[in-house]
Amino acid sequence: MAFDTTDVILSLVKIAIVLAMMLQVTPIMAWVERRGSALMQDRPGPNRVGPFGLFQAFADALKFILKEDIIPARAHKWLYTLAPAIGLLPALTTIAVVPWGRPFLLAEREVGGRILFEGGRWFVPVVADVSVGILVVFALASFSVYGITTAGWASNNKYSLFGGIRASAQMISYELALTLAAVSVLLATGSLKLTDVVWHQTGTFVLFDTLRLPAWNVLSPSMWLSFIVFVVAAFAETNRLPFDFAEADAELVAGYHTEYSSMKFALFFMAEYMAMASMSAVIATLYLGGWDIPWYNEPPTFLGFLLSALFFVAKVGFLLFFFVWIRWTIPRLKYDILMRLGWKVFLPMAFVNILLVAGFIAMRWI
Amino acid sequence: MTHSYLPILIMLAIAAVFGATFLSLNWVVGRHQRNPSKLDPYESGVPLLDVNRKRVNVRFYQIAMLFIIFDIEAAFLYPWAVIYREGALSSRATAMFLFTEMLVFILLLGVGYVYVWKKKAFDWK
């Protein structure tokens, strides 16, 4: 196995960019959530640290680090300590297979007597363009169950245990709906590669001979059902309200992280926001055209890449705001309603949509 | 191309390093003032009288079993979904074949689904 130095460096640059973006998500989202909730509840929210409370997140981080690190006497010490890190792994890694901009050509140039990018080289803005992209996403998404369940069990606390058990049942139930909803998209694309999924959504199509719409999956007449299933399942996967039964502060104190304090708690907090960001990126890629700019053909240059990357970030940003918006708008469901909804409504809906898309393709409508 | 997966592994490693750093940072910098009541499990302020890890409702196991059945079936759907478009666009006969194959598969699964539904496995109460 030979490595090309340019490839390795480009790869490391991509990893650095992605990690920088992902680590920013938590402070920004913590601010957006607190100020957003304040806005929706007609109160000021955090406004003392920095302009508009913008530095609140840094103050919080400092406090998290300086607080006492408690390991409860009855807890399983190793698993209790490892659980937050286990939760962080999938949340931070999922984004690796998601493309975040239009590929562009790096022209051959000479720097300090060495020829760089010989004969031109394509820069594909995705950390790992693997052929089974979507399977990696789901593999890592199901991995995130372990962090929460381990935390719940290892804490040796009734509230934690209930939170962890509930979360595992909820997440595996909705994972089913999630994977099945994605099958519809794969049917239309004919590939598991996420870069192919985005390429398939570039360009436009004409609806009813009048409207010229971007070829995004969400706008396709056969796909909106699976879009609804996927978004709702994404909420359940990331344990966000109205499906936050892993925490359920009103019933379970704080659910699986009742016993966690200081930085260990902060890691769960980070993992939750990063999981939200990766989920938003996956939704944007599968249904909202990824980095595609509507009614515009991005040139294969650095400018085209930059514009498309900005558009991708804007889409993810909107979805993240949507998460916050829903959280402060819809109250928590009851657990039996949650399970019934997942198995009796969303599962059949996903199946119906698969048959619908398959039928559409067989009739050569899409 | 196995080495296209390497960046994912690198990111996993970096995430692990992040996690380890944060965890140890807190242990090094944070305060250490322990007392027995601080290390007790949280029980809404009352002393703990029995064990914490009690038996849980059997329904959770039921859901896990159902999940495995349906998840394996989703795993069967994925390869079909990947080849479907190409096959369906090649000829009408292939399209019909691929569609009916999956229709039969989903119908068979549907029988099981209806059975589980009638057995009230999805009703939490």
What is the CA A8 to chain-centroid distance, rounded? 26
pLDDT at residue A3, rounded to an integer: 65
**Tokens representing A7?**
């490839």
Answer yes or no: do B26 and A188 touch at CB < 8 A: no
* Mean pLDDT calculated for residue range B111-115: 89
Share of chain A above pLDDT 90, in %: 4
**Tokens representing A14?**
């991509």
d(CA A287, CA A282): 8
Query: What pLDDT, in 10s, does the model give residues B8-59?
Result: 888 889 888 888 888 888 778 777 777 777 777 777 777 777 777 778 788 8
Residue type, A113: G
d(CA A294, CA A315): 12
* Bridge partners, residue A110, by sequence: A115
pLDDT at residue A2, rounded to an integer: 58
**Tokens representing B125?**
């109460």
Contacts of B14 in chain A (CB under 8 A): 15, 19, 92
Beta carbons of B9 and A86 less than 8 angstroms apart: no
Mind telling me how many Å the CA of B100 is from chain A's nearest CA?
A: 10
Residue A54 lies in a domain: no
DSSP string, A156-190: T-HHHHHHHHHHHHHHHHHHHHHHHHHHHHHHHH-
Q: Which range, A112-126, A179-193, A252-266, has the best average confidence (pLDDT)?
A: A179-193
pLDDT at residue A327, rounded to an integer: 86
Residue type, A221: P
* Mean pLDDT calculated for residue range A160-187: 87
CB atoms inside a 10 Å sphere around CB B83: 12
Mind telling me how many Å the CA of B81 is from chain A's nearest CA?
A: 5
Answer yes or no: do B5 and A66 touch at CB < 8 A: no
pLDDT at residue B125, rounded to an integer: 65
Which residues lie below 8 Å from residue B38, measured CB to CB, with a gap of 6+?
A: A70
CB pairs under 8 A between A and B: 213
Answer yes or no: do A85 and B25 touch at CB < 8 A: no
d(CA A117, CA A122): 9
Number of domains chain A contains: 1
| Residue A183 belongs to domain spanning | 5-43+71-362
Query: What pLDDT, in 10s, does the model give residues A23-55?
Result: 888 888 888 888 888 888 888 888 888 788 788
pLDDT at residue B2, rounded to an integer: 64
pLDDT at residue A334, rounded to an integer: 81
Residue A134 lies in a domain: yes
d(CA A351, CA A328): 31
Question: Measured between CB atoms, which of B7, B20, B74 is closest to A179?
Answer: B74
Beta carbons of B7 and A11 less than 8 angstroms apart: yes
User: Which helix (DSSP H) or strand (DSSP E) does residue A109 occupy?
Assistant: strand A109-111
What is the CA A40 to chain-centroid distance, rounded? 24
Answer yes or no: do B56 and A165 touch at CB < 8 A: yes
Share of chain B above pLDDT 90, in %: 0
Which position has the higher pLDDT, A18 or B41? A18
- Whole-model pTM: value is 0.87
Q: Which of A200, A197, A217 is nearest to A130 (CA)?
A: A197
Contacts of A266 in chain B (CB under 8 A): 22
Report yes or no: A111 at the B interface, CB cutoff 8 Å: no
Residue of A nearest to B54 (CA): A158
pLDDT band at residue B1, thresholds of 50, 70 and 90? low
Q: Where are the domains of chain B?
A: 2-47, 58-118
C-alpha distances in angstroms, A94 versus A137, A229, B16?
Answer: 6, 20, 14
Average pLDDT in chain B: 82
First to last CA, chain A: 41
Residue of A nearest to B38 (CA): A72
pLDDT at residue A42, rounded to an integer: 87
**Tokens representing A172?**
């595996």
d(CA A34, CA A31): 5
d(CA A233, CA A242): 11
Residue A63 lies in a domain: no
Residue A55 lies in a domain: no
Average pLDDT in chain A: 84
Answer yes or no: do A70 and B99 touch at CB < 8 A: no
* Mean pLDDT calculated for residue range A180-198: 87
Residue A309 lies in a domain: yes
d(CA B23, CA B76): 40
User: Which helix (DSSP H) or strand (DSSP E) does residue A269 occupy?
Assistant: helix A262-286
Helix (H, G, I), strand (E, B) or coil at A204: strand
pLDDT at residue A212, rounded to an integer: 78
pLDDT at residue A283, rounded to an integer: 92
Residue A253 region, left (φ>0) first, then alpha (ψ -120 to 50), else beta? left
Q: Which range, A67-76, A255-264, B52-61, B76-85, has the best average confidence (pLDDT)?
A: B76-85
pLDDT score of A5 more than 80: no
CB atoms inside a 10 Å sphere around CB A12: 13
Residue of A nearest to B77 (CA): A183
Answer yes or no: do B41 and A129 touch at CB < 8 A: no
**Tokens representing A13?**
């640059």
Share of chain A above pLDDT 70, in %: 98
